[in-house]
Amino acid sequence: MSIQIKSGKEIIDEFFDSIHRIPVVDPKITAILDQHHRNGKFTATHLSNALFKLREETPDDSH
Amino acid sequence: MTVIKSLFIKGLRGIKNELTLLPGGNSFIIFGDNGSGKSSITDTLEWFYKNRVSHLTGEEIGRIGQEALKNTLLPHDEESFTSIEFNDNSLDSQKKIYHKKNSIQSEYSNTTPQFLQYLENSQKENLILRYRDLFDFILASKKEKLDTLSTIIGLSEVTYTRDTLRKVLGELKKEYKMGNFDSRISFQQSKIIGLLGRNINSETQLVEAVNEIIQSLGIKEKIKTADGIDDLLAVLSKPDDYHLLELQTFYNKITDWIFNLPAAADTLDQIYTNYYKHYQDLANNIEKLNKIVLENLLTEGIKAIKTRAVGSDLCPLCLQPKNLCELLDELEARTQELREFKKEKIQLNEIKKNLEKEIKNLVQKIDILLTDNNMMTEENRMVKRRLEGFKNELEKYSIQLNRDISPGQHLLPPAEIRISCEPFEDVRAFCLQKQEAAAKSKRNDFKYDAQRKILLSLDTYRMIDRLKKERDILENQQRSMELIYTTFLKKQKECIDAFLNYFSGYIDEFYQFLNPGERVEKFALVPLERDEDLVGITLEYTFHENRETPPQKYLSESHLNCLGIVFFLTSVKAFNRWNRFFILDDVMSQFDNEHADRFTRLLFEKFPDYQVIVMSHEKKWVERILDEVKEKNWQTYIIERDEEGNVSLKPFINSAG
């Protein structure tokens, strides 16, 4: 593919490579998204479950 | 990037004997009359890269058209193959077909990971343009244009990622709304005020309030943290009081549960109302819904028309005489309608799953309460019965969800199964009464009263703390997902705009090159969006100062032909990364001399570093450009077939001298 334009895969890969640089975003959430993308498990169900698990795991003293 | 150094074909399509082509990486033109074997070379190359020949695929000749590949005159036991040598010799490979157990198999001689990767990458590239494919993109619907480009650049992956992010964000928002946090927190706060006579917003305030209570009991020790309250209660508690306090906590849990009921019942009602609406919409079109199974058949029909699988003006499905253009429009409209129904059915299933999840959550909470030891006592039998009754009420929803739309089963309207929370007022009153009675029985027992207040305040404080944490964590996740989603949307838009601009620029440049000064200009691929969704792409252009779409509205067949070639060449520029060659098979049939000559110059000027392979039956065109192509190191051949079916290639010699 030409240098000027990007394939869908490139758009997505670039996005996930830079996702941790989005300001004010919880790094644990970016890690979940990135990990699911890399493991080929990027589905709404898997992600919602992972976020639910993260909410359950968040220690009590976080508040 | 890869170019072809040599090509050997034997026993494939119209080529019986071995045919050798040695372009050495240079461009070449093969001239031949119809049926001479030009397209057999194109078919063979397509099969080598894509493992199919698009115009040979079909139910009768197989999915990849392999059965029609082998030359019919070749003896059964002789191998059919093509061998290609590239500028990068690590990619050289032969691909052959052979008979094995009554089926035709194929295999590559090169099985290195490098070659297999090259093959996979090449499958996504635009390598071949045939005359029959010229109009495909130009005459395609807006959605088909989008689908074509989406497939090429993998836009569907982008759309999928965006939809997934949006769905996850939507789930978080829904979760937050259903959490009903503010109302639940304020209910718990009102309970603390009732117990301690003041609001408690921090652990320090709770510790202070508890220390004041124990001070009034004459205890000098002070607690420092909320956790210290547990130790204090263990010291204060007498065995007789223990059961009473446990009962107080039990009633507290029941009143909490009753407080949350209206919101939970509302959620169920909202989801069910939505489910009912979708169900009814689909049930009213039950005939169409049942026809979803026809979608594949109609799609095959469309494919058959587009690939001209049957004779002209015959419906490929019923073989009755039909106007194919009208039939194509009709089939596409019907397919689109069925797809919409399919989408709605999927949506209905998603709502169903959502409702099932909510019911399951509620049942789990009730079951936890029902297994409490205090629920088993005679005095709490009424509470138990009512909770079990509520659980049974939930069954009404489950029964509706199990109804099947296809046989025409009807659903009960939401109003008929809505769960009323009013009957629980008496349960709430009973619990409060029990709590008050217990307090009254210990009216003069200051120690018990202190314990009760401390225990219930601690429970309530912990509940508030948990709710706040739950709320904050959800808010944090929601905020993060919102930012991630908007960043993704921005990136998606930037990339699609860049792609469309780039693509439009080349389409316009090449079209102007072929048709200068015709007042048809500024071609642009324009995205069509609906609710942040890219739903189609249209091709706009200026026709005598007016913006117009689609191209077939004003452009002649030869100009549409031009546009088809231009689209292919733009795709080559934009997308081909691994291969530096492309094949044009008889694409100039509609061109007059002027257009054909401009097209030649376009190839020379815009694709000087590509290996261009042209198949043509336009002898005069080849003769006209012969000297020029030779100067540019292009090779020219004439392909001929003898009476025995053998095909040969000879250098093209200008018959005009």
Q: pLDDT tens-digit profile of B148-204?
A: 766 666 677 888 898 899 999 999 999 999 888 999 999 999 999 999 999 998 999
**Chain B residues with beta carbon closer than 8 angstroms to that of A15:** 161, 487-488, 491
Contact B585, B45 (CB under 8 A): no
- Helix ranges (H only) for B28-180 are 38-50, 113-123, 142-153, 155-179
CB pair distance less than 8 Å for A51 and B473: no
Question: Judging by beta carbons within 10 Å of its beta carbon (0-12, 13-18, 19+), is residue B357 exposed, middle or buried?
Answer: exposed
Query: Nearest CB to B155: which of A8, A54, A58?
Result: A8
Average pLDDT value for chain B: 87
Taking residues B292-319, report their average pLDDT. Answer: 76
**Per-residue confidence (pLDDT) for residue B632, from 0 to 100:** 92
Q: What is the mean pLDDT of residues B70-99?
A: 88
> What residues are paired with B198 via a beta bridge?
none
pLDDT in tens, B418-464: 988 777 889 999 999 998 888 788 878 888 888 888 988 999 999 99
Residue B52 DSSP label: S
State whether residue B130 is helix, strand or coil: strand
Per-residue pLDDT, A2: 47
pLDDT reported for residue B610 = 96
pLDDT at B343: 84
User: Looking at beta carbons, which residues of chain A come within 8 Å of B498?
Assistant: 4-6
Residue of A3, A9, A10, A12 to mutate, interface with B, max B Cβ within 10 Å: A12
Confidence of residue B654 (pLDDT cuts 50, 70, 90): confident
Over 50: is that where the pLDDT of B61 sits? no
**3-state DSSP of B571-638:** HHHHHCCCECEEEEECCCCCCCHHHHHHHHHHHHHHCCCCEEEEEECCHHHHHHHHHHHHHCCCEEEE
Q: Quick one: which of B474, B167, B185, B180 has its CA closest to A56?
A: B474
Distance CA B443, CA B453 (A): 13
pLDDT in the model for residue A61: 45
Percent of chain B with pLDDT over 70: 94
On whether any CB of chain A is under 8 Å from the CB of B201, the answer is no
Chain A hits for B156, CB-CB cut-off 8 Å, are 8
Rounded Cα distance, B107 and B97, in Å:
7
Q: What is the mean pLDDT of residues B612-616?
A: 95
- Residue A27 or B322, more confident: A27
Weakest-pLDDT range from B284-293, B379-388, B407-416: B284-293
pLDDT computed for residue B152 by the predictor: 64
Q: By CA distance, what is B492's nearest residue in A?
A: A11
The reply to whether residue A5 touches residue B495, judged by beta carbons under 8 angstroms, is: yes
Cis before B550 (ω within 30):
yes
Å from B456 to nearest chain A CA? Answer: 20
Please tell me if residue A47 touches chain B, with a CB cutoff of 8 Å.
yes
What does B495-509 look like in DSSP terms, one character per residue?
A: HHHHHHHHHHHHHHH
What pLDDT does B345 receive?
Answer: 87
User: Where do we find the tokens 């090779």?
Assistant: B635
Q: Is pLDDT of A62 > 60? A: no
Q: For residue B617, give Cα distances in angstroms to B583, B640, B650.
A: 15, 12, 15
